[in-house]
């Protein structure tokens, strides 16, 4: 009989601990952000610029899209074209990558065929980066114009949801 009572008491204590820690665990995760702010821990995750393209240093609004130029990261500069609805069939632009008043690159992007024609206008540009370079952990120049375009859907920038986007990464001259 004593063993049965001890067994029942152990079961009650065990289940009580389970309930207490389950409630604490759920409460902790539900309020994790508030709790970390109170104790001074900054738990925001930062993705390295090599994958995001770095901070945006130039934003230009066009008729059907927005063009973003990112700050240089390692050997490349990323340029994005984002549209709230659909990208135009063709994007044609001359770009000054470093705001020195000298045009560095002319691009013609066919968003339907997913191709790009580009012309280097300054020594600042060496090539377009192959889109698999980040997976391969290298900075390879593209040998095929389709291989240098990054197309994506549903991207958010400055709290605006863009339906379509395309990016290129321009390999730049090393200093």
Verify that 140 and 85 share a domain, yes or no: yes
Higher pLDDT, 152 or 46: 152
Residue 43 lies in a domain: no
pLDDT value at residue 90: 93
Q: What is the mean pLDDT of residues 69-79?
A: 87
Buried b (16+ CB within 10 A) or exposed e, 4-19: eeeeeeeeeeeeeeee
Residue 119 lies in a domain: yes
Verify that 32 and 56 share a domain, yes or no: no
pLDDT digits (tens, 9 = 90+) for 83-140: 988 899 999 999 998 888 999 999 999 888 888 888 989 888 888 887 655 555 555 6
Q: Which residue has the tokens 């970390």?
A: 36
- Cα–Cα distance measured from residue 168 to residue 150, given in angstroms and rounded to the nearest whole number: 6
Verify that 13 and 76 share a domain, yes or no: no
Domain with 32 in it: 2-38
pTM for the full predicted model: 0.67
Alpha helices per DSSP H over the chain: 2-30, 32-38, 49-52
């Amino acid at each position: 009989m004593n063993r049965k009572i001890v067994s029942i008491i152990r079961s009650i204590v065990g289940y009580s601990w389970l309930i207490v820690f389950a409630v604490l665990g759920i409460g902790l995760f539900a309020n994790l952000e508030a709790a970390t702010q109170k104790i001074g821990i900054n738990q925001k995750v930062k993705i390295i610029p090599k994958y995001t393209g770095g901070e945006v240093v130039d934003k230009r609004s066009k008729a059907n899209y927005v063009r973003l130029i990112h700050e240089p990261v390692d050997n490349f500069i990323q340029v994005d074209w984002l549209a709230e609805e659909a990208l135009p069939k063709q994007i044609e632009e001359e770009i000054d990558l470093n705001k020195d008043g000298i045009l560095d690159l002319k691009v013609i992007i066919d968003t339907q065929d997913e191709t790009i024609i580009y012309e280097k206008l300054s020594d600042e540009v060496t090539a377009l980066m192959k889109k698999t370079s980040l997976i391969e952990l290298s900075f390879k120049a593209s040998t095929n114009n389709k291989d240098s375009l990054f197309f994506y859907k549903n991207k958010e920038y400055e709290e605006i949801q863009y339906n379509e986007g395309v990016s290129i990464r321009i390999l730049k001259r090393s200093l």
